Structure 1
Amino acid sequence: MKISAKIRITTGYIINLVVIIAIGIIYLNQIASLTENVAWHWVLFGLIILSIGMLTTVFFMLKHQLKIKKQYELDLIKSKKLLQSIIDNTSNPISVKKLNGEYLLVNNQYQKLFQSKAEDLIGKTNHDFLPKAVADRYRNSDMEVIKEEKEIHIEETMEQQDGEHIYLSVKFPLFDNTNRIYAIGSISTDITERKKTEQSLKAANTFFDLSIDSLVIADKTSFVRVNPSLSNILGYTTSELLAKPFSSFILSEDLTRTFEEIKTLDEGKDIINFKNRWICKDGSTKWLTWNATLDKSTGLIYAVVRDITEELELKQEAEEERNELLESQQKLNMILENISDGVIVANSDKQVLMANYSANELFKIEDDYSISFDFSDHFEVFYPDGKTTFPSQELPAQRALTGEITNDVDVILKNLETKEKRRVLLSGRPIVNSQNIVVAVVVTIKDISVYKKLEEDLERKDMESRTVIGYKRSQTKKGKTKTSKSAE
């Protein structure tokens, strides 16, 4: 049975007191029989009383020290409980290890990391319950603390039930009263979310800086942040753009409507495709289009900006070209409609794009797109003899697609429905682009039926009149017919 220190001290005091008294009585009895000196007796009695007094003093001193030690132990236990309570109620995992790696102290959060209780960790090292590679990594960082004899900051990765977590651990040495390291403390902070946020912020900053479109953060009067794209557009450095109100870069004629547009943000409306003019560093002016929204919690405006100067210039040029083309087309249509010959225009896919009034009359079709490129849907095509079929590949339209120019090809067109015949002269011209590729053809149709009929009638009447006045037909050596005057 373990005897308490208080009982041991009290028992020792009583035993020593009895022994002193006993020795004093025995000694007095022995001295008294040998001498009658009273002074000596008083000296002996005084020594006995002094010994008893000193023993009593020592007894009370030891008792007092025992009380102090007990109070110290109570205070120490109280402090340990208070410390344990504090560290158990913090969100940071905390541990204290001996120099050999054995755990002296762990809090609740640290126990949760390994799903263990404190009693399962105290007295053990990381190598007792972690894979060797992981335990060696933790041990190396602990040894770094001992080597440096100062705190270190290190990021440690730990696999948990919900995935991998990253901790920022502050490891520090604990010194005894001789200033020697006797333990290593560690306080860890879970920075997994912070790391994700940092990565997201880094990605956002990279996107912000590398974006082709200009990205802007501003308040109601000045830029807060701009990306390099806007600097490249306007020619100012970033610091120059941030140093002045943005109104100093806007063309004065556009200032009023720009600030009116900004006011609409306070009404909860976003700015969509707002266009205004900005003054570049070289003095030129550029058109920018803005899409912006307001963060009411911060009062900041977030905007995406694009340079549309070239786009507007191209659009203006295209509009001017369109107007010129329309004017030219109108003039061309007017010319074509006033030409007595039929004219058709077809693309390289053999689709008729345009026909004038004379061509519509010839084909008896008002819809230009319904006209057949090789006439096969409307006419039979013959040589001038009216019997021999004219090959379609020799038609001026087909030959023009190959880049060939043809003039006045004499053919007869026989209408498939009315069987009416027309004597026409066909001509073809290719239209080429800048690469000398045929993109369209123009075919003209000159109706000479009336002229041929008149020519035939004139010839017939001429022959009749010549016969009457004495001319007759004769055959030349070449087989040609000629007339001669007969003798009267």
Structure 2
Amino acid sequence: MKTSMERKNLYGYIINSIMVIALGIIYLKQINFNTSDAWWNWVSLGLIVVILGMLTTVFFVLKAQIKAKKKSEEELVKSQELLHSIINNTTNAISVKKINGEYMLVNKKYQSIFEAYGKDLIGKTDHDILPKELADRYLEADLEAMKLGEEIQIEEEIEQPDGKHTYLSVKFPLFDISNRVYAIGSISTDITERKTIMESQKAADTFFNMSIDSLVIASNERFLKVNTSLSDLLGYTKEELLNTPFATYIFPEDIEKTKEAIKKLEEGANLISFNNRWICKDKSIKWLSWNATSDTNTGTLYAVVRDITKDLLFQEENEKRMNELYENQQKLNMIIENISDGVLVANTDKQVILANEVANELFGIEDDSKISIDFSDHFKVLNSYDGKVFPVQNLPAELALEGKVTNDIDVLLMHKETNEIRRVLLSGRPIIDNGNHIAAVVVTIKDISRYKKLETELKRKDQESRRRIGFKKNDSKEKKE
């Protein structure tokens, strides 16, 4: 079993201390303090004590040094682990080679790139894993960085399982404490997609210029590229738009919110349907809607622009109509609620969509939708003159659905549960829409039960009064004859 430095130090201290103490004891037994040279014996004994003290001091000094060294080693291990964690979790491919080309360090990304050529690259050279032509190019680049003594940038291509990839590699020499190159480092970034974009730029430019939509490429202050559509939309030439900060053309009150939107784009957010006003060359104002994104690497903004001026005008007009309609509806509701007659409004499916308070009280129901427009769920509808059932097809709601208007149909409503009878006058009329179609029907209910009772009471009192004054029906008839 391997003994730690702490234990070695402790064991050495104990052994040396025992030896010194034993030597002191032996010396004490052999000396005589009564002789003329007794002072020398005392000096010798003092030296033994000093030696023991020095051993103790050395022990604690070594112990502190060992502890400090152990802590330093632990910090070094942590730093190495942190460095390896960072290196292995970056998306860039990182490697370090000795001067002779042997790999000293590779991260996971670098290993994955060359996985098809070898699973373990440490201790191998490019000539061990790659075709000679490719390995020679890599070696030539490493030697160039070593020769210059500073970093260089080159493009390198490597065949991978999903096809050929292009990497932008930064190669740099690593120096030791004597300022001599002992290794070559490399950090590579996959630029395959960027290269593809660059190669398709010509086709993109053609599409850009031919698009009927307004397309924009910009920095955070200026247009970098605009197509003819935007130029035609605002009335400025492309040169005017490109050579002047675009804030010049933005409506002053919208500049600040536009800056805030650009800031969000720069932070990586996408802009969807952002609207602001622009001043055209003819001094007119147009509302533009922007869908935009950004390249956070370059800070370039890309946008598709649409003129929504007419849409907003239409929306404003529509909102105005809706507000007017709402106001009219409120006025209508106020009128209906203040009418002394019951009012029911039903759609063409015979569902009540509106009832005023008088109607709710008559039916004893607060939920308008639970009222039946033909009264059948709540009342028996009877003829007022003979008490027979009134035909449903002759009710105002049914006739109104046929486009007919009815006024003051005299009927009796007998409550199905309490048998309470009300005498009412029913009227109905259709509501016609702009297409001359029936959209709904209105039925009004005038409760005349109280008036009929008053009329009957008045007749009764009139007859009583006549009898009291001696009036006879037969006498009046004789006089007439």
Indicate the TM-score class for this superposition, using the shorter chain for normalisation. Answer: 0.5 to 0.7
Give the equivalent residue in structure 1 for 2:412. 412
Give the equivalent residue in structure 2 for 1:144. none
Give the equivalent residue in structure 2 for 1:151. none
Question: Which amino acid counterpart does residue 367 of structure 2 have in structure 1?
Answer: D
Deviation at residue 202 of structure 1 after TM alignment: 4.2
| Distance in structure 1 (CA, Å) of the matches to 2:414 and 2:208 | 72
Q: Is the alpha carbon distance of 1:221 and 1:201 closer, same or farther for their aligned partners in structure 2, counting shifts above 3 Å?
A: same
Give the equivalent residue in structure 2 for 1:152. none
Give the equivalent residue in structure 2 for 1:484. 477
Is 1:472 matched with 2:473?
Answer: yes
| Distance in structure 2 (CA, Å) of the matches to 1:203 and 1:374 | 69
| Distance in structure 1 (CA, Å) of the matches to 2:349 and 2:252 | 53
Partner SS, residue 484 of structure 1: helix
| Distance in structure 2 (CA, Å) of the matches to 1:284 and 1:464 | 88
| Distance in structure 2 (CA, Å) of the matches to 1:438 and 1:200 | 61
**1:239-270 CA-partner distances (Å, limit 9, x unpaired):** 55445432222112222332232133332333
Give the equivalent residue in structure 1 for 2:107. none
Deviation at residue 386 of structure 1 after TM alignment: 4.8
Higher Cα Rg, which structure: 1
Partner SS, residue 362 of structure 1: helix
Give the equivalent residue in structure 2 for 1:266. 266
Deviation at residue 222 of structure 1 after TM alignment: 2.5
* Root-mean-square deviation (Å): 3.4
Identical positions, percent: 56
Give the equivalent residue in structure 2 for 1:293. 293
Deviation at residue 200 of structure 1 after TM alignment: 9.5
Deviation at residue 353 of structure 1 after TM alignment: 1.1
Q: Which runs of 5 or more structure 1 residues have no equivalent in the other structure?
A: 1-88, 91-193, 475-482
Give the equivalent residue in structure 2 for 1:13. none
Q: Is the alpha carbon distance of 1:438 and 1:470 closer, same or farther for their aligned partners in structure 2, counting shifts above 3 Å?
A: same
Give the equivalent residue in structure 1 for 2:245. 245
Give the equivalent residue in structure 1 for 2:254. 254
Give the equivalent residue in structure 1 for 2:455. 455
Give the equivalent residue in structure 2 for 1:25. none
Give the equivalent residue in structure 2 for 1:317. 317
Q: Is the alpha carbon distance of 1:373 and 1:222 closer, same or farther for their aligned partners in structure 2, counting shifts above 3 Å?
A: same
Give the equivalent residue in structure 1 for 2:11. none
- Aligned runs of 1:10-29 on 2, under 5 Å? none
| Distance in structure 2 (CA, Å) of the matches to 1:397 and 1:230 | 59
**1:262-295 CA-partner distances (Å, limit 9, x unpaired):** 1333323333332211112332212222222221
Deviation at residue 341 of structure 1 after TM alignment: 0.6
Deviation at residue 417 of structure 1 after TM alignment: 1.3
Give the equivalent residue in structure 1 for 2:439. 439
| Distance in structure 1 (CA, Å) of the matches to 2:229 and 2:385 | 75
Question: Which amino acid counterpart does residue 290 of structure 2 have in structure 1?
Answer: W
Partner SS, residue 477 of structure 2: strand
**1:70-93 CA-partner distances (Å, limit 9, x unpaired):** xxxxxxxxxxxxxxxxxxx89xxx
CA contact (8 A) 1:348 1:441 kept: yes
**1:79-108 CA-partner distances (Å, limit 9, x unpaired):** xxxxxxxxxx89xxxxxxxxxxxxxxxxxx
| Distance in structure 1 (CA, Å) of the matches to 2:237 and 2:386 | 82
TM-score by length of 1: 0.52
Deviation at residue 203 of structure 1 after TM alignment: 7.6
Give the equivalent residue in structure 2 for 1:392. 392
Give the equivalent residue in structure 1 for 2:284. 284
Partner SS, residue 419 of structure 1: coil
Question: Which amino acid counterpart does residue 451 of structure 2 have in structure 1?
Answer: Y
Deviation at residue 351 of structure 1 after TM alignment: 1.5
CA contact (8 A) 2:208 2:227 kept: no
Count matched residues: 289
Is 1:354 matched with 2:354?
Answer: yes
TM-score by length of 2: 0.53
Give the equivalent residue in structure 2 for 1:127. none
| Distance in structure 2 (CA, Å) of the matches to 1:443 and 1:322 | 26
Q: Which runs of 5 or more structure 2 residues have no equivalent in the other structure?
A: 1-132, 135-194
CA contact (8 A) 2:379 2:415 kept: yes
Q: Is the alpha carbon distance of 1:282 and 1:418 closer, same or farther for their aligned partners in structure 2, counting shifts above 3 Å?
A: farther
Give the equivalent residue in structure 1 for 2:383. 383
Question: Which amino acid counterpart does residue 373 of structure 2 have in structure 1?
Answer: F
Question: Which amino acid counterpart does residue 410 of structure 1 have in structure 2?
Answer: D
| Distance in structure 1 (CA, Å) of the matches to 2:368 and 2:327 | 20
Q: Is the alpha carbon distance of 1:249 and 1:196 closer, same or farther for their aligned partners in structure 2, counting shifts above 3 Å?
A: closer
Deviation at residue 368 of structure 1 after TM alignment: 0.8
CA contact (8 A) 1:470 1:486 kept: no
| Distance in structure 1 (CA, Å) of the matches to 2:197 and 2:267 | 35
- Aligned runs of 1:173-188 on 2, under 5 Å? none
Q: Is the alpha carbon distance of 1:203 and 1:388 closer, same or farther for their aligned partners in structure 2, counting shifts above 3 Å?
A: farther
